[in-house]
Amino acid sequence: MMCRSIVLSAFVSALFAHTAFAQSEVKIGMVTTLSGPAGYLGADVRDGFQLAVDEESGKLGGVPVRVLVEDDGLKPGQGKEIADRFLGSEKVKILTGFIFSNVLAAVAPDAFDAGAFVISPNAGPSNFAGKDCNKLYFVTSWQNDAVFEAAGQNATNLGKKRAYVLAPNYQAGKDAIAGFKRFFKGDIVGETYTRLDQTDFGPEMSQIRAANPDAVFQFHPGGLGITFIKQYVQAGLENIPMFVGGSGLDRRILTAIGPAAEGVNITSQWNSDFDNPASRAFVSAFKAKYNRIPDSYASQGYDTARLLASALKAVHGDLSDTEAFRQALLRADFVSVRGEFRFAHNQHPIEDLYALRVVKDADGKLDIKTVGKVLSNHTDAYGAACKL
Amino acid sequence: MLAFEQILNGLQFGIMLFLLSAGLTLVFGIMGLLNLAQGSLYMIGAYAAAYVGAHTGSFLFGGLAGIGAAAAVGMATEYLVLRRLYARSHLDQVLATYGLVLFFNEGITILFGRQPLYVDIPASLNGAIQLASGLSYSIYRLVIIGVGSLVGIGLYVLIGHTRLGMLVRAGATHRDMLRAMGVRIRMIYTVVFGLGALLAGLAGVMAGPLSAVQIGMGEQILILTFVVVIIGGLGSVRGAVLGAILVGVVDTLTRVYLPGLLKTMMSTANADAIGAGLSSMGVYLLMALVLLWRPRGLLAGSL
């Protein structure tokens, strides 16, 4: 490995010998979740990121890069171990890939101590958006609450008055419900905290039926969500519109749920049918390379790489001046697949959020379609506490 | 009526737990083997049923395939791996069967990928049935209750009133005597393990349409299964029936009614927080109480 990287950098520097500034490659450490049931999330981010690197044949913003990818297995300890190796022996100055907030929270402090940048393509826990914000920390997806806040707004926009809310009894579940409530103007007629190891939602379905709401908001990641939505329809509740945040229903989950998912309202910052040139180009390139329609995770990986490309270009691959690189990142001088992309002062995106819905297309296949915009120039509720 | 519906929910959940724990407790009672891989057999049953069901279009064929696959894999595992462990300590057994869990999870990943599989309720069992005025209940869930009850009766007859059952009971208590009388006890072990695997596979088949058929689905339910086995008494099938129904009903009712009950005593925010916490502890509290009263479980020592 060492040998190969020496040969590679020798080759790369030979290639660039004629330019005024001979560049050495920039290492990017990707700590992401590739194994377990949630492993496809990390694989999507990695594939989206790699696509951007491949489009420039091994460079980002004209700067040769080497992407080191390791699987954190959704274990904070393992993520920390990998990150320490990246920061120590590999001398990596840019860490990315984080899917889950708990892994990110374990890794970020070490990275800050080592003066390395953390660019999260997915996880956006509230503390790092607020009082613990850091100059070295950027999020390209959203603060975690955003898609749930949008779900609340979406339910309000659709004239819903009585919502029943459910989420697992852990931090992300509580955040999701808090986010929904922040933007939902009607009454909450029931609030249930489920368990992360729950396999049967029969009792919850009976409770929902008894409360007779006109909307149900639920956040159940991964397999829990598959189980929940199946049992929801089996319990005959399909006439009560369901609202979920982006990750609650992606294409993989849709395939596993099948027809029961029809009509579910999703809110997300991106969908594969977005009609802007960058998005169209990304979707067709991704399909050509990986032979599947990208979920939003892939777009987040891609955007993260494009953001890094813009900043690496601005500093000519020289990361020694941390502040210059930070300013270059803050400018976000790239064309995002979401359309316009700007950072707020807490280095989280100012974003537009959209309502999507699961509908049957012309040949009866289920698809996720964009319905319209729900929130414009949305910023998170925590930025005020961030002194940057 | 809502309360009755919730009790039915609890009963149905309990029966799913019973199918998983019956095998676990049989295997422990007779061979003294602690088997963490029971959840993997549940997963194998669900995957085989989903795969064959999708390719033949028949839930019945899928179900048979699921049960068959779980039993076959179970017996093969017993023959190849587990029989080496009977003489070892429980810690060795836990380590080895945990290794099997990892092995089966990776094996399924290689065979089927990470994409959870899609299984639907068969059309004939879809929908709800009116049980009384104001109470309709899912036909499929009623079928689960029915199948589980039949299995319970079947096990009772098999263990209590057949020749095989007699050998099984004798194998649990008088192993050496049985061997001295020329009974091939290893054969009985394989058959019993296969039976336990078959029941786990059946639980997996029936869970398929209800929940996500995905890698690691067995581990989620395994902990509650162990709670059932401990409450019922290690090694007792009748205990497993009792424990499973107790756990199913207590789990359901605490989840549903505890937060509401607490709201009458304190502020809503506190009640939600404490209620959610307490209700997820409900079955463990039950276990602690049972163990205080009967340290070896409710029906320990009787198969």
- Residue in B closest to A41 by C-alpha: B114
User: Among partner residues A199, A236, A252, which is closest to B207 by beta-carbon distance?
Assistant: A199
Q: What local confidence, expressed as pLDDT, does residue B164 receive? A: 87
**CA distance linking residue A139 with residue A131, whole number of Å:** 15
Model confidence over B222-279: pLDDT tens digits?
888 999 999 998 888 889 999 999 999 998 888 888 877 887 887 766 776 777 777 7
User: Among partner residues A203, A252, A253, which is closest to B256 by beta-carbon distance?
Assistant: A203
Helix (H, G, I), strand (E, B) or coil at B4: helix
Q: Do A230 and B211 touch (CB under 8 A)?
A: yes
* Secondary structure of A324-335 in HEC code, one letter for each residue: HHHHHHHHCCCC
> Which chain A residues touch B46 with a CB distance below 8 Å?
none
Mean per-residue pLDDT pooled into runs of 10, chain A (388 residues): 51 48 80 83 94 94 94 91 94 94 93 95 92 95 93 95 91 89 94 84 90 94 85 88 89 87 94 94 96 94 96 93 95 93 94 93 89 93 90
In this structure, is residue B302 part of a structural domain?
no
**CA distance linking residue A109 with residue A131, whole number of Å:** 14
Q: Which domain holds residue B214?
A: 2-120+133-293
- Residues in chain B whose Cβ is within 8 Å of chain A: 2, 5-6, 9-10, 12-13, 16, 114-118, 120-121, 126-128, 136, 138, 140-141, 207, 209-217, 220-221, 223-224, 252, 255-256, 259, 272, 276-277, 280
> Encoding tokens for residue A96?
């990315």
- Residue in A closest to B135 by C-alpha: A206
Residue A75 forms contact with B (CB below 8 Å): no
**B174: confidence class by pLDDT, cuts 50, 70, 90:** confident
Q: What local confidence, expressed as pLDDT, does residue A18 receive? A: 45
Q: Do B118 and A169 touch (CB under 8 A)?
A: no
**B293: confidence class by pLDDT, cuts 50, 70, 90:** very high
Helix (H, G, I), strand (E, B) or coil at A372: strand
Number of domains present in the structure of chain B: 1
User: Among partner residues A193, A206, A258, which is closest to B5 by beta-carbon distance?
Assistant: A206
Q: Do A197 and B221 touch (CB under 8 A)?
A: yes
Q: Do B216 and A200 touch (CB under 8 A)?
A: no
Q: Identify which has the larger pLDDT, A171 or B200.
A: B200
- Residue in A closest to B218 by C-alpha: A199
Q: Do A256 and B115 touch (CB under 8 A)?
A: yes
For chain A, counts of helices (H) and of strands (E): 13, 14
For the segment B118-144, the average pLDDT, to the nearest whole number, is 84
> Which chain B residues touch A195 with a CB distance below 8 Å?
280
For the segment B34-59, the average pLDDT, to the nearest whole number, is 93
User: Among partner residues A37, A200, A224, which is closest to B13 by beta-carbon distance?
Assistant: A200
Residue of A234, A249, A262, A291 best to disrupt the B interface, most CBs of B under 10 A = A234
Q: How many CA atoms lie within 13 Å of B80's alpha carbon, on the beta-carbon side?
A: 8
Q: Do B138 and A235 touch (CB under 8 A)?
A: yes
Q: What local confidence, expressed as pLDDT, does residue B136 receive? A: 81
Share of chain A above pLDDT 90, in %: 70
Bridge partner residues of A205 (DSSP) = none
Q: How many CA atoms lie within 13 Å of A229's alpha carbon, on the beta-carbon side?
A: 34
Residue A9 forms contact with B (CB below 8 Å): no
A·B CB contacts under 8 A:
106
Output DSSP code: residue B235.
T
Q: How many CA atoms lie within 13 Å of A53's alpha carbon, on the beta-carbon side?
A: 19
Model confidence over B40-49: pLDDT tens digits?
999 999 999 9
In this structure, is residue B127 part of a structural domain?
no
Residue A210 forms contact with B (CB below 8 Å): yes
How near does any CA of chain B get to the CA of A85, in Å?
26
> Which chain B residues touch A229 with a CB distance below 8 Å?
none
Q: Do A37 and B209 touch (CB under 8 A)?
A: no
- Residue in A closest to B134 by C-alpha: A210
**B124: confidence class by pLDDT, cuts 50, 70, 90:** confident
Q: Do A234 and B140 touch (CB under 8 A)?
A: yes
Residues 6+ apart with CB under 8 A from B5: A206, B135, B137
Q: What local confidence, expressed as pLDDT, does residue A20 receive? A: 42
* C-beta neighbour count of B133 within 10 angstroms: 7
> Which chain A residues touch B210 with a CB distance below 8 Å?
199-200, 227, 230-231, 234
Model confidence over B208-230: pLDDT tens digits?
988 888 888 888 788 889 999 99
Residues 6+ apart with CB under 8 A from B279: B254, B255, B258, B259
> Encoding tokens for residue A251?
């294409």
Residue with tokens 């079947």: B154
For chain B, counts of helices (H) and of strands (E): 11, 2
In this structure, is residue B303 part of a structural domain?
no
* CATH code for the domain in which residue B88 is found: 1.10.3470
User: Among partner residues A37, A193, A236, which is closest to B216 by beta-carbon distance?
Assistant: A37
Closest by alpha carbon to B248, among B22, B16, B43, B42?
B16
Q: Which CATH number does the domain A146-268+352-385 belong to among 1.10.10.10, 3.40.50.2300, 3.40.50.800, 2.40.128.20?
A: 3.40.50.2300
Q: Do B216 and A36 touch (CB under 8 A)?
A: yes
Check: CB of residue B227 under 8 Å from CB of residue B287: yes
Q: What local confidence, expressed as pLDDT, does residue A22 receive? A: 44
Q: Do A36 and B215 touch (CB under 8 A)?
A: yes
Q: Do A227 and B210 touch (CB under 8 A)?
A: yes
Q: What local confidence, expressed as pLDDT, does residue B186 receive? A: 85
How near does any CA of chain A get to the CA of B25, in Å?
21
**Mean pLDDT of the residues in chain B:** 88
In this structure, is residue B20 part of a structural domain?
yes
For the segment B180-196, the average pLDDT, to the nearest whole number, is 88
Bridge-based pairing of strands A242-245 and A162-168 is unpaired
Whether the predicted interface score ipTM is above 0.85:
no
In this structure, is residue B125 part of a structural domain?
no
Q: Do B217 and A193 touch (CB under 8 A)?
A: no
Q: What local confidence, expressed as pLDDT, does residue A286 receive? A: 96
Q: Using CA of residue A351, residue A355, residue A357, residue A362, what is the dihedral sign?
A: negative
How near does any CA of chain B get to the CA of A255, in Å?
7
> Encoding tokens for residue A207?
């409770």
How near does any CA of chain B get to the CA of A228, in Å?
8
**CA distance linking residue A242 with residue A384, whole number of Å:** 32
Q: Do B211 and A203 touch (CB under 8 A)?
A: no
Name the fold adopted by A2-14+22-141+274-343: Rossmann fold (3.40.50)
* C-beta neighbour count of B268 within 10 angstroms: 12
Residue of A165, A193, A209 best to disrupt the B interface, most CBs of B under 10 A = A193
Model confidence over B90-123: pLDDT tens digits?
999 999 999 999 999 999 989 988 788 888 888 8
In this structure, is residue B112 part of a structural domain?
yes
> Encoding tokens for residue B180?
């001295």
- Residue in B closest to A207 by C-alpha: B256
Residue B85 has pLDDT above 70, yes or no: yes
- Residue in B closest to A252 by C-alpha: B115
Range(s) within chain A of domains with CATH label 3.40.50.2300: 2-14+22-141+274-343, 146-268+352-385
Closest by alpha carbon to A203, among B145, B252, B275, B4?
B252
